[in-house]
Amino acid sequence: MQFIAMITMLIDHVGLLFFPGEMLWRIIGRIAFPIYAYALVQGHVYTSNYRKYISRLFIIAVLSQIPYQLAFDTNGLNVVATLFVSSLVLRLLDSVKPGIVSALTIAAACIIMEVLPFDYGAYGLLLVLIFKYADKGGMVVMHLLLNLAYLLAYGWVIQLASIVPTLVIAYGPGLWRRLESWTLPRWVWRAFYPAHLAVLAVVVYILGI
């Protein structure tokens, strides 16, 4: 699972930077974020030390920010920052009952993530919430509806491909357990995002893109 997330994210970013006219790279890249969102939920549920968990996310987000801005020529916040805020929202929702307070918390976070903006914006948070609170059948339906909403609102055509990993999570538990058994050293998993952004930023600088 981790390996697939890293490779498809790398393919997405290489395509965005060096082959912007070839959509196949970006379509393959849509596989990555749902896996990271699902992994975040699993980490949130099963971590034995939330402070260490959220601190690691914060550090990775900070280390990734400058390479992210340099590589993609943007002032937005990187995807790990999106996951960091999503984790904070999950923590807040754990402490309140479902109702007006939880709805306002989600709405406020969505607005902030769109305005600043965060990578994936409110979409990222909403997908995390789907993985946290929906059952397996509901995951697929709600993720599909989310994709359709963003297709109609923003024309996110290639984002429709992101339903593929959700289908695997929901309906391929045997396959998923096998993928999850192929673990990587923790330092590789944690360092890959900022490290690959730094390399891409250097290549962009050298090529003058």
Distance CA 44, CA 54 (A): 9
Distance of CA 199 to the CA centre of its chain: 20
Q: Do the beta carbons of residue 51 and residue 64 sit within 8 Å?
A: no
For residue 70, pLDDT beyond 90: yes
Distance CA 78, CA 67 (A): 10
pLDDT of amino acid 137: 87
Contacts of 124 (CB under 8 A, 6+ apart): 33, 37, 79, 82, 83, 86, 113, 118
Side chain identity at 89, as an amino acid letter? V
Q: pLDDT tens digits for 90-122?
A: 999 999 999 999 999 999 999 999 999 999 999
- The percentage of residues in the chain with a pLDDT greater than 70, rounded to a whole number, is 98
Summarize the confidence of residues 122-131 as an average pLDDT.
Answer: 98
Is the pLDDT reported for residue 176 higher than 70? Answer: no
Average confidence score pLDDT of the chain? 94
Mean local confidence (pLDDT), 164-177? 82
3-19: average pLDDT: 96
% residues pLDDT > 90 (the chain): 85
Whether pLDDT at 193 is above 90: yes
Paired strand residues for 77 = 118
Instruction: Report the alpha-carbon distance of residue 9 to residue 18 in Å, rounded.
Output: 14
**Whether the predicted model's global pTM rises above the 0.85 cut:** yes
Compute the distance between CA of residue 113 and CA of residue 107 in angstroms, rounded to an integer: 10
Whole-angstrom distance, CA of residue 51 vs CA of residue 55: 6
For 18, residues 6+ apart whose C-beta sits below 8 A from its C-beta are: 209
Structural domain boundaries in the chain: 1-203
| 164, pLDDT greater than 80 | yes
